[in-house]
Amino acid sequence: MTVERRLPHQFRLQRRQALRAMGALALVLKAPQVVAAPAPVGKSSKSVGDGSGALQPLPAQKKPAAAASPAPAPTAQTNSNIVAVRVWPADEYTRVTLESDKPLAAQHFLVEGPDRLVIDIEGLELSPGLRELLGKVHADDPFIAGVRVGQNRPRVVRLVLDLKQPVAPQIFTLAPVAAYQNRLVFDLYPKVEVDPLLTLIREKEKAETEAAKSVQDALGEMIARIDKPALPATSMPPPARKLPVPAPVPIPPAPGPAAASAVQTPVPPPPLPPLSRPAPTPSEAGLAQAKLDRLIVIALDPGHGGEDPGAIGPSGLKEKDVVLAVALQLRDRLNSNPNIRVMMTRDADFFVPLHERVRKARRVQADLFVSIHADAFITPKARGASVFALSDGAASSQTARWIANKENAADLVGGVNKDIAVKDANVLKAMLDMSTTAQIRDSLKLGSEVLGQIGRVGNLHKRGVEQAGFAVLKAPDVPSILVETAFISNPEEEAKLRDPDYQAKLVAALATGIARYFAKNPPLARHRPLS
């Protein structure tokens, strides 16, 4: 009898179950190993195989492919390239513009004794384009005495501007617009703003002094001719006797090491201290105030300037250049009247934001505001001059609205500090709300007189004064017009605008129109307090 038969029935069942379990385990150990295939990255974590969740054999291992080299970070390690460097010096402020293919970031601080502005620009390495800045600062710049450039640390360039006077800098960036790429702008304003009314008074006094001196010189020359005895007609003056020219006296060399130089450089005399102007007496101050109150002040506004060229003609004539030339001639013509003084929003090639043009006119309490432009259109066939006034509602025509929108976008191209522009945009909106019906009515009268005179010189685009929402015409207490002298996009009219004779005729027409307006509408008495 076997051992199994000797065991009780219950134990025999347990022994059979244990043998079956051991046999199954032996089969598993002899089978090939299997693992679950990993789920692909980025997909569901379910098992991959036949869809039933069963284990699948591990596939044969392949040689891993060479890892692709990682792409360089476009902004973290790539330096910007300087595309252009521009400097716009002016008495009002100096602007320095760095144009680059990528946005730049900068930090700055001021140093005294002597005055310097230090600017650290990130993402730059020294380059020939950046070194061009050294040669673009001229000796007559009112604010910048010199420039130094150096690599302060890796990918950080330091600019040091040596200053001629304390400044209140504004440093900001501009996004790409029109033909410009990214721009980093430094605007250097004087720390103490000049009083424009005081400037007008001094200009008037200087003109009066020069005129009086000219009269005295002419009178003295006439008296000298009368007192000088006339020579006989037959008598001839004796021939001039040639005097011997003395030989140059050699300069003995100075003792010591400097004696090696044969010629010494003369030492210029020390500069004289500036003459202090005595404080005006109460009577002199009252006389100056009376002169100022009696003056007729006209604000002339040559459009665009600096970074903003305005419209460009077929042969390359820039609007900013021709309107400045016309405005300067008009200023000289109007200033020849002793009762008129002209305030220019810009008298050189630099940019003035729209809100600043309005503020300048209001600050001198101008009696008139005349903005001068040269229009352009999508077709070269457009021609003729136009005059615009402000509209308190819709534009008078589609063309007027289109031109107003184009002129109002000048700040985008010229470049305005956004932090200040937002505040001044609200100010301009408030000014528009304040603009009275009387101001618009007077502007239409002025525009009608000017348009009538311009029509005698050349073609007119419209026979009447048009109206639109020009931002530069929004001074609520100053009659204001915008004159589009011609279409610079028209080849024939561009040639006229380039012609000095045509410019002179245009200036005469503008001056006559202004004079006719004042003859019919005398300016109100104003009190212009000096600051």
The string of pLDDT tens digits covering residues 323-365 is: 999 999 999 999 999 889 999 999 999 999 999 999 999 989 8
Burial 383-392 (b: 16+ CB within 10 A, else e): bbbbbbbbbe
Q: How many helices (H) and strands (E) does the chain have?
A: 13, 14
406-442 pLDDT tens trace: 787 787 888 877 666 555 555 555 555 555 788 899 9
**Percentage of the residues of the chain whose pLDDT score is greater than 90:** 47
In this prediction, residues 200-216 reach a mean pLDDT of: 72
Q: Is the pLDDT of residue 214 over 60?
A: yes
Looking at per-residue confidence, does 159 or 15 come out higher? 159
pLDDT at 425: 56
Is residue 3 domain-resident?
Answer: no
Is residue 201 domain-resident?
Answer: no
Closest CA to 96 of 134, 45, 61: 134
pLDDT-based confidence at 298, cuts 50/70/90?
very high
Q: Which of 157, 190, 223 is the last residue of a domain?
A: 190
* CATH at 482: 3.40.630.40
Q: Is the pLDDT of residue 376 over 60?
A: yes
Is residue 69 domain-resident?
Answer: no
Q: Which of 142, 159, 190 is the last residue of a domain?
A: 190
| Residues of the domain holding 171 | 82-190
173 and 309 housed in the same domain: no
pLDDT at 274: 40
Q: Which of 125, 155, 190 is the last residue of a domain?
A: 190
434: phi then psi, degrees, rounded to nearest 5: -80, -20
DSSP per-residue letters across 34-89? -BPBPPPTTS--S-BSSSS---BPPPPP-PPPPPPPPPPPTTTTPPP-EEEEEEE-
184 and 318 housed in the same domain: no
pLDDT at 219: 56
Q: What angle do CA 377, 380, 381 make, to 5 degrees?
A: 105
The two structure tokens encoding residue 231? 């020579």
486 and 340 housed in the same domain: yes
How high is the mean pLDDT of the chain? 77
* Count of domains observed in the chain: 2
Answer whether 383's CB lies under 8 Å from 313's CB.
no
pLDDT at 79: 85
| Least-confidence region, from 5-14, 37-46, 74-83, 376-385 | 37-46
Q: Is the pLDDT of residue 119 over 90?
A: yes
Closest CA to 481 of 415, 385, 340: 385
The two structure tokens encoding residue 457? 């010189």
pLDDT at 94: 96
| Least-confidence region, from 238-247, 313-322, 346-355 | 238-247
Is residue 343 domain-resident?
Answer: yes
Is residue 275 domain-resident?
Answer: no
Is residue 10 domain-resident?
Answer: no
In this prediction, residues 449-477 reach a mean pLDDT of: 92
Is residue 383 domain-resident?
Answer: yes
Rounded Cα distance, 44 and 135, in Å:
64
186 and 306 housed in the same domain: no
Reduced to 3 states (helix: H, G, I; strand: E, B; else coil), residue 143 is coil
Q: Is the pLDDT of residue 243 over 70?
A: no
Looking at per-residue confidence, does 290 or 415 come out higher? 415
Is residue 9 domain-resident?
Answer: no
324 and 183 housed in the same domain: no
pLDDT at 288: 54
pLDDT-based confidence at 527, cuts 50/70/90?
low
302 and 442 housed in the same domain: yes
In this prediction, residues 44-59 reach a mean pLDDT of: 38
pLDDT at 18: 62
* CATH at 107: 2.60.40.3500
Q: Is the pLDDT of residue 74 over 90?
A: no
Q: Is the pLDDT of residue 251 over 50?
A: no
| Least-confidence region, from 23-32, 113-122, 232-241, 259-268 | 259-268
pLDDT at 15: 64
